[in-house]
Structure 1
Amino acid sequence: MTKDKGRDCMSTKDEVLKYLQNHQQYVSGEELSEQLLVSRTAIWKNINTLRSSGYEIESVTNRGYRLVFSPNTISPEIILSGLKTKAMGKNVFCFDSIDSTNAQAKRQALAGASNGSLFIAEQQTGGKGRLGRVWASPSGTGLWFSVLLRPDSLPVQVTNITLLAGLAVCLSIRKLTKAPAMIKWPNDIVIGGKKVCGILTEMAAEIDRIEYVVVGIGINVNTENFPEELSVKATSLRVECGKPVARVELLQEILSEFERILSDYTDRPEAIFAEYKTLCVSLNRTVGFVRNKEPLTATAVDISPAGELVVRCGNGSLISINSGEVTVQGIYGQT
């Protein structure tokens, strides 16, 4: 048997955890050792490490180990276990508390962090939303994370990356929770007219080359109560589903879906945009926006290939909106 000399401990933990998750019955230390090609001592050490991370693993003499409980906590080994992506999220940076996962992703991008690197925190002290707004990120209840994307994984129309991220989150929420999530253009995720997720995309580029893109995603997962000023506009998956939602499962689904969408968009952008439009709650509704400092209302009728919201004014003319605040009738209490 090949011993575990020089083997990555994180990888061993992932493999031990995955093996236990795939076997409901007891698994002997000998079987784990033989299947994973590591020593019995390494198995024992990694079992104890998993226990210290919150996993409850029974051990019975002459029978082996059995996974009894998986925590709703976030750690690299928990994220990597069962993550079905090629690059997205394979390099994980976890923090108990940080100023902003986007800020950390940008710092690490300059230090050479790889494409698909994931930066995730239990709490953000300086989280930001679109247009410089503060994004509340309480500890232990939500998913607050950023993904670093290098040029090779980016679509030609890079400005659409924020829409593609919104589609990935929306599809993942619908798949995992069955909640009727929709997208408010460009990338807010709403359920029943209230916001459950915000996405902030930041880019570093030179004149002829994009250095990197950071996609920051904040999701209210298991928040039970909101401050009075937010309760009209904000909701959580727990509130909408009536039960807690597994944060890591949702994260893994989003990463997998985002990677798929980025790949598919390169070959068939029309199909991906059609998928986006079916989930865009802004379309066919009255929207408000500002044009040349003048507040206007119109009907949203389409999304352009460049990701713009196309609206039809009262006189029949079409306007393409590519930035700024757009209100939608019936969303966030708008009438």
Structure 2
Amino acid sequence: MILIRRFEEKIVALSQEPNRMSGMQILANGQEAVATGIVSALEPEDVIISNHRSHGHLLARGADLNSLMAEIMAKDNGVNGGKAGTLHLSVPEINVLMTSTVVGAGSPLAVGAAFAQHYKRAGGITVVFFGDGAAAEGSVHEAMNLASIWKLPLLFVCENICWAGAQRHEEHCATPHIFQRAKGYNMPGRSVDGNDVEAVYTIGVELAEYCRSGKGPAFIEALTYRMRGHGEQDRQHYVDPGELETWAARCPIHRYRQKLLDDDVLTEAKIRAIDQDAETRVTVAVAFGDESPYPGPETALTDVFVQPPSA
């Protein structure tokens, strides 16, 4: 979680410098427990499909820090050759099939991925991450319905961050409990404190195993909060500062740090060492990105279409 936080904090800092970052930066500060807990509950063969707040999901899965930073800096040595930026990443070698900034677009594709796993009897499940705003998209409901009809190994993970753009949850959603919608599609739905990494992991293991058993899909609503704007250009003038302070006090990293100290699992010295290691790794990643070239103009038309196999 600390590595994810330091990585995104560095993106914030670089975004304020000219010509350092490429495109719009949409971050997930404060949501680290969801990414860490759910991804830690998965097996290597499991497939992940993410959304526009994907850095934590990729880093928790083991994406190369240097290549990910280079990608966000639009460099040729990035995970997608500098063409995906921060919003449309794909790292197939760690089974992160795709991320998408199109709200709700990942769920139908997750149905396809889960269907392939089911059809090929390949084992593994698919996990799709989306926000509370995306939960209102018709594509998500259609995906839930079809996944349930076909009993696909698909875990829906809704990160309820209390805001969809500049709209509060209660302004765009008729129910305060999104997980209850799962019942209408005949799948188990559970709610969890999204700022408690151990609780997220526990429910992640439980429902991942349910999906893996062949019983069909499942749904998790992780209750957390969007600590920064919709994007870095959004200064959140519409958010009550007191509300931000309340959620800042529930920071998943601070909570877990204190728990580990109270349980005598870690010492202050060990925590400082972990933090310093994360800082160092992020600094090295930035240097890697700075030293990497931009993609050449001759690559503009590559990766647009699938290359047919050679004869």
Q: TM-score range by the shorter chain?
A: under 0.3
Q: Using CA pairs below 8 Å that are at least 6 residues apart, which structure has the higher relative contact order? A: 2
Structure with the larger strand share: 1
Structure with the larger helix share: 2
Query: With structure 2 as the length reference, what TM-score do the two structures score?
Result: 0.26
